[in-house]
Chain A
Amino acid sequence: MVEVTLWGALGTAAGGKSKVEIEAKDIRELFRKLAEQHPALEPHIQRGIAVAINGEIYRDTWSKEFPAGAEIFLLPRLAGG
């Protein structure tokens, strides 16, 4: 079970909650369960979300596992220049 913090727009889409509890061991499972439990998040997930695990930003790796007690934060998927 991990606690996930959602940034503004995602929180609104999840019914106003900024923190949700999800049973997931890695990023892929997290996205799948999030979409199941909060269908309004699906378009955001499709568009692209980055996951910050203990402050480090992961943009692509589905298999990245969550260490015990990790702080999980969902962010917009960014690009640089």
Chain B
Amino acid sequence: MSGIAVSTTINGDGVELLCQPQETLLDVLRDRLGLTGTKEGCGTGDCGACSVILDDRLVCSCLVLGAEAEGRRVETIEGMASGDSLHPLQQKFLEHAALQCGICTPGFLIAAKDLLARNPDPTETEIRFGLAGNLCRCTGYDKIVRAVQDAASVMKGA
């Protein structure tokens, strides 16, 4: 069978895989590598549930081809905690009940991590616009914004 050999780094680990030309990075993560934390909500880059960080850049993995991961670094939700320590964003999402069904949560955590990396002290408006690429249908975003605000102040203080 034909396939493209891809050599990439996922959450710090070197990974070698074969994928089809038309497979997206999302397909590769979920179906080839079993990393199902990243979700498909729409497949067209409109919902943000598939958010990952590719070489320090926030992307919708459904809009990136698997082959494009060659030689690059991918960060997914599975790599956010360190060992048994949750990332402050993960901890604050839990404390503020910033999730109800939780399907959008991995995408939001990745996007929020990226937002705080670029802007460690965002205003409420900056948080809202920074996360406007992630859809949530359950929470109305109120508790998500509060969780990000709280995590930002913890991360600044630390």
Asked if A and B form a direct contact in the complex, defined as CB atoms under 8 angstroms apart, the reply is no
